[in-house]
Copies of this chain bind each other. A is one copy, B any other.
Amino acid sequence: MKHENAIHRLKNVEGHIRGIERMLDEEAYCIDVIRQIQAAQAALNKVTSIILEEHLNSCLTTAVRGEDPMERERVLKEIADVFDAANKV
């Protein structure tokens, strides 16, 4: 299955977040909770890396090697956009 690794990692993040809910429920120390949220975000960064790499090597490569200049421009613009968005989360 395609994306198997990414899906597996997302399932882990889901479990991680359920664990953080439990920590809050059991009134764990706030700073420990924040550290766990930051760890979940780092795990999500890793998923983004995996998907981006797949995208660069498939869709983006196809579009850039293709003969439609607008399609080429569109996929390159998307990379620039997700890069900007990455700087804001």
Question: A interface vs B, CB < 8 Å?
Answer: 2-3, 6-7, 10-11, 13-14, 17-18, 20-21, 24-25, 27, 29-31, 33-35, 37-38, 40-42, 44-45, 47-49, 51-61, 64-65, 72-73, 76, 78-80, 82-89
Chain A facing B: main interface SS: helix
**In the complex the two chains form, is A17's CB within 8 Å of B14's CB?**
yes
Given A11-B21, A61-B72, A82-B44 contact (CB < 8 Å): no
Nearest residue (CB) in B for A45 is: B87
Which single member of B31, B33, B76, B89 contacts A38 (CB below 8 Å)?
B89
B contact residues around A59 at 8 Å (CB): 29-30
